[in-house]
Structure 1
Amino acid sequence: MSKAPFIAFDINLETFQEDLSTRLAKSREMIQTLLAQESKTYANFIKPFEMMDERLDQFFTPLSHVNSIKNSEVSQKVYSDVLPIITEYSTEVGQNLEIYQVFKTIKEAEYAALNREQQRVIDLNILHFELSGAHLDDEKKERLKAINLRKSTLTNNFSQNLLDATNAFEYIVTDAADVKGLPQSDIDAATFEAEERTAYKFTLQMPSYIAYMTYGPSQQIREALYKAYTTRSPENADIINELLALREEMAHLLGFENFSAYSLESKMAPDTQTVISFLKELAFSSMNQANEELNALKAMTQDELMSFDTAYYSEILKKEKYEIDEEEYRPYFEQNSVVEGMFEFLHHLFGISFRPVEETLWDEKATSYDLYVGEELRSRLYLDLEARKDKRGGAWMHNWQSHCTNEEDEEQLASA
């Protein structure tokens, strides 16, 4: 079987909403065409339905990605404008009773003759329709639709508020004594000239924040940074409360006791109590070690150990007790060396290899690699590892292409 080429990263924000509307109109037409078939099978209904959904995801994912990693006023507006449109479409399809019934009918007729992957496709789709409320009456469907639209808006607002608050905060240090002890590379990154004197700027971006919390000698500055970080976006408190209420209402509409039970319907844990028991057991098992380490930190200061002190005294303790100075190891953990080391490790464990790909991406520091098993191409991986003001914090991933056989009977490889 021939392999389909990977999609090139290309997005036009100016025409995105119009292009999306065109695609959704075609998808709606295709759904009606599929439903109009007299005899429906996995081959003539489920596979084209899945590929229709896959193509829509492939089109929309770059916008979600750009809004997360190259956030701008333009991307914010486009994403905010199209979010209700795609949410309404997704809810409409997920609540389509006729499609839901077709999946159940095909399962009854063909399930035993299908392979495991095809069976899994059917099972996941049926679960999706049920969790979307396809089986509910019209009044409950309308309320679920309203909940989904509101949730998508709130979730987007939450993320944007957090990014804006992170970027808005700066702490200016004018006394060189307050940066004494920081690694020179972190001092260099913070240094700027202000009114003909040297000053140092620290932000809530992780490289800057962690540097001062770990090495910064001023408890006052550590406290200011810590409080700024932990109290970002106070307006998000109202968003959280509303989201929790909407989740609970949604769960009840779908017949679940609470949102936890709804969430676990698509996960491995059988029930809420199992999860809570596991977390309690985990906490109990680690409590003695945690207390031992905390007491060791408390012994290093005559004052009360505060939350904004733990990283600072942990670094001192490592140096005194274990003679570990992370700065001595920093040259060995340069980004490219770490990536290459990770690839070598994975090759040793699984026999896979990564080969760099030359292509234009969303940022000049983003990279892509093709994954091979032997000489066979299996997938593509995109890496964007550096913090930026226009990039959402944390470690996360966007799926782009799913591994499947496409409508041209080509093998479509996964990418993320």
Structure 2
Amino acid sequence: MPNTNTTKTEILSIHTLTYRYRCSFQTYYGLFQYLVQNRNCIFTKHKHKKCEKYTTRTLHPLGFNRIEFIDCMIPDRDYHEYKIKFTINPRILTGQTSQPRTHIIAKEQLSQLPDILDTAIHDLCSPYKEQLTDGKFQRIDYCCNLWFIEQELAEEYMRLLRKALIPYPFELEKILSNSQHRYIPEPNAITITCKSYQLSIYLKLNQLLDEITRQENGIIPSEHVSEIENAIGQIRIELREYRSQLRINKKKIHCGNDEAFLLNGSNTHPYTTLCKRLGSMYGTGDFWLYDDARDIIKESDYKPRIKKELLEILKVVNAPKSGLDISKNGFDYTYLKSHMRYFNELDLSPITISQKSFKRCGENFFPNPRKYISGETAELLRTSDI
């Protein structure tokens, strides 16, 4: 049986989830027509190779961010596979419609979420609810939010986080720059991806402004003002687990075929995964001014050779336009990783605060992100949903 003896900080809440059903053509076509005729859904058609997909966002106010009907021809067989996918915002699903972009469902409500989800889908698809069986989660976005006292502090913290070591076999997400005509790292975020999950840390205000102005042709409607104000100082840490990772979690919590345990607040594995990944990116120590970090190393009990190597890493990593990413600093990945334990023992991250940053924000210290998500500290924060 899954372990239900967990603490609040060992659980991550959920921002978005994707739930999928396989079905017959009769259910696929019948439910499609029902949603068009009885729910006034407007669908957009997309075609990719052997698949046709029909997507609607009409029911977004009810918590169904997106509903997709997917018809795929199986290669080398005269056979169609029919799937229906629901992408859902759990906070809206529970009736909390205010500020859905900046807030997530409260951890205390997670125990009720599987039943709420089941009821919402069945109510939406009532004539076909008996045919929709054996649904599977395709993706769950676990996340937490930090609100810094000021937006400037959040921006400085994000500058530190963007200097992360990219752990093997993850890849750093990049975007196409229209001005530079090449792919560059995200300016207000860091996102790393592997086959089973993705970790993204980003400034919510910048992401929200980009999203709204893009949707509204550069105009910010009055109904979004309160949410934009709430995003000031906010950093979101989001772990997006795909189906392969969710299957691993199910095996670890010994829940058999019951997918509910991925939602109901008893699954601590996303929190463990997040802590492990943050540790590999930043170490477990805090961010200090460069001069302070150098003094901590010099005053340590390590042998002169180790001190020399740590000081060299510190110097190179904190040079302009550098960081822990080996594509920028020229270090061997194994060499850097092996030296991280020395930094961890000193409770010091190799990433430091520059004098330029210190002059901007006036802070000579930032806690490690692991200490924030564990609830160990709330220094420099206005609030959080940890």
TM range (shorter): under 0.3
Report the TM-score, using the length of structure 1 for normalisation: 0.22
Q: Hey, which of these two has a bigger chunk of strand by percent?
A: 2
Q: Hey, which of these two has a bigger chunk of helix by percent?
A: 1
Report the TM-score, using the length of structure 2 for normalisation: 0.23
Question: If you compute each CA radius of gyration, which structure gives the higher value, 1 or 2?
Answer: 1
